Each structure stands twice: as C-alpha cells, then as structure tokens.
Amino acid sequence: MGISLWNTRLDVPEFKTSSENPEHLGDVIDVEEQKLFPVVDWQLLQRQVQTCQACDLHATRTNTVFGVGDTSASWMIIGEAPGADEDLKGEPFVGKAGQLLNEMFISIGLSRETVFIANILKCRPPNNRDPHVEEVAACQSFLEQQIGYIKPKVILAVGRVAAQNLLQTKETIGRLRGEKYSYRDTGIPVIATYHPAYLLRSPLEKRKVWQDLVLAKKIMATR
C-alpha cells in the first residue's frame, strides 16, 4: 500500500515494511523534531481556519470546526469532516456519533477533555458527501500544523476517509483497521478504526473497535 505498517499482534508490535527501526522511533522524533514539526502559532492557526476561504466549502458552512480538547494530549482523534450538528455548533463529534465516541473514550479510561479531536476538513461538505480531493488538499496544512503542535503519541483515525487520507491509501477501512501504521515520516503511530456513525448503524462492529482501542492503548504504553 506504500505506507508504513507494523505487525499488530497485541503483544509486541513488530516492524514490517518500513526501513525505519521502531526501537529508535522516539529518537527520531527528538533529534529531528524541528524538521518534522515546524513551530506553530496555535492562536494564529485558529484565526486562519476561522477566516479560511481556500475551498468552496467556506460558502456553505455555518461555522468552521477547528477541533477541541487538550492541546498537549497524547491521543489525537481524527475524523472526516463536520456533519450538520458539528457545523451548527462549531465542534467536532457532537450528536449521537459524538456521544458514542465519548463512550469509546471512557471504555479505555480516557475522556473528551484528555484527547484532542479534529477532522480532515474544517468545514462541512454539503449533504455530508465525501470530501473532494481538492478540498482535502486545501485544508491539509491546517491538520498537519495541529498534529505538529500537539505531537500526539498516537493518532486514532476514525472512519474510511480519515484513515485513507492520513495514510495516503485507497484501502478499505475494513482492511486498514487492526494494524499499526506511521503518520508519514514522523514515527507517530496511527490506528484506524470504524467511525462511530457507522457503529450506530452496525452495532455488532463495536467489538472490532474495542480491539482497535485496546491495540492503540497497548501502543501508547510503549511510547
């Protein structure tokens, strides 16, 4: 798939296809930190998102949805794009899907306040359609800067669109979940799982999400 992938047995993650040695990933982040994570002015970034007109979605949004949570969080949760509730409130993952996401956090000892939640896009696509390639490209720098500022220890990509864009692949979420990847060349582990909106329609899949969360938590323990 052209992406970094480790074996995902729940005991010791095993390096699989990247040329990097995972035992030294922590060193890579320290030594190369300035190169990997350029300095970000968080307040300026927020203002830039609020006033952004870089793609057509600015014309139909009610609010931009910058992201919410702890900017020094170890966990970063990244979804697809704002829906109707999020567009109205200016906050990601509210409504029923947001409630389920909160329950997912609680199940592994986290809370909405102790993670940072963001989306691939900061504005709602009309009728909740998939983001267009040019919209993702226009918005990409905002998310990159958020990741660079927060420097999470693990990224949880929720849903197909988030996982495919973060991992630069067209694989299905069903094939992407259950594995450990790396966010580009940063060494930050990425775990992909189903979107809570999908779980509302397919509650039997909650078991798989639980497995993904356990995997992410085990990876966190090694960081």
List residues near ligand SF4 by CB under 6 A: 49, 52-55, 57-58, 64, 121-123, 135, 138-139
Three-state SS annotation for 93-142: CCHHHHHHHHHHHHHCCCCHHHCEEEECCCCCCHHHCCCCHHHHHHHHHH
Which residue's CB is nearer to ligand SF4, number 138 or number 176? Answer: 138
Q: Which has the closest alpha carbon to 66: 131, 167, 143?
A: 143
> Which amino acid would we find at residue 90?
G
Number of DSSP helices (H) and strands (E) in the chain, helices first: 10, 8
CB of 96 to ligand SF4, least distance (A): 23
Which residue's CB is nearer to ligand SF4, number 31 or number 44? Answer: 44
Which residue's CB is nearer to ligand SF4, number 106 or number 137? Answer: 137
CB of 42 to ligand SF4, least distance (A): 16
Q: Which has the closest alpha carbon to 94: 129, 124, 127?
A: 124
CB of 50 to ligand SF4, least distance (A): 9
Give the C-alpha separation, 29 to 207, whole Å. 33
DSSP letter, residue 88: H
CB of 91 to ligand SF4, least distance (A): 15
Which residue's CB is nearer to ligand SF4, number 8 or number 146? Answer: 146
Which residue's CB is nearer to ligand SF4, number 118 or number 190? Answer: 118
Which residue's CB is nearer to ligand SF4, number 55 or number 157? Answer: 55
CB of 53 to ligand SF4, least distance (A): 6
Give residue 178's region: left, alpha or beta (phi > 0; psi -120 to 50).
left
CB of 66 to ligand SF4, least distance (A): 9
